[in-house]
Amino acid sequence: MNLTDPIFTDKDAAREYLERQRWADGVYCPHCGGVDKCKKLTGKFHRPGLYQCGDCRKQFTVTVGTVFERSKVPLNKWLLATFLMASSKKGMSAHQLHRTIGVTYKTAWFMWHRIREAMRSGSFSPMGGEGGTVESDETFIGTDPTYKGSRRVYHHKMKVLSLVDRETGEARSFVVDKLTQHDVVPILKENID
Ligand SMILES: [Zn+2]
């Protein structure tokens, strides 16, 4: 990937890239987790990339629930800023970002903070440090597309493990094959201080 890639210059290419990344296993609803009835809205009055969930009836785009949500800055500039910040060894200041991607300093400052926060809370930093408390729970959502057996109780649904840091409110969710000790414990060990 280099700086002339269309995802950094064209907002539709940027959105399609993000859709491929985020929904590699199929579109899911960021509001209720529904996977079966997500429909792309293609009418000319709809903005590109708008979906509707048949389960909860809410609309969404690929940026809902991400650091790019509800921003007037075109998505290609967000991707460019993220790429620059992630690939620059010495780090990049908000001022450099402002000059490089062509947004006002105030906007660059806002983006810089959001991206840095997203990078900081990546899976490398364990949750619940310094004696904090992390809650863990499981839930069953949608239908596991790989499941072949009978559709009874919850066996055919996707198993999701969620962790919530009680102090910071940070949450992480993982799709797991089975909710057994064998599958769950390594995730807890990897993510909790
Ligand atoms: Zn939904």
Ligand 1 mean position to 26 CA, how many Å? 14
Q: How far is the CA of 193 from the centre of ligand 1 (A)?
A: 33
Which two three-digit tokens encode residue 120?
Answer: 């900081």
Residue of 121, 118, 131 lying closest to 166 (CA atoms): 131
Cβ partners under 8 Å of residue 5, min gap 6: none
Q: Which helix (H) or strand (E) holds 39?
A: strand 38-40
In whole angstroms, give the CA distance from residue 51 to residue 59. 6
Neighbours of ion ligand 1 (CB under 5 A): 29, 31-32, 34, 53, 55-56
pTM (predicted TM-score): 0.62
Q: Which of 158, 161, 162, 159 is nearest to 142 (CA)?
A: 158
| pLDDT one-digit tens code per residue, 82-140 | 999 888 777 789 999 999 999 999 999 999 988 887 776 555 578 888 889 999 988 87
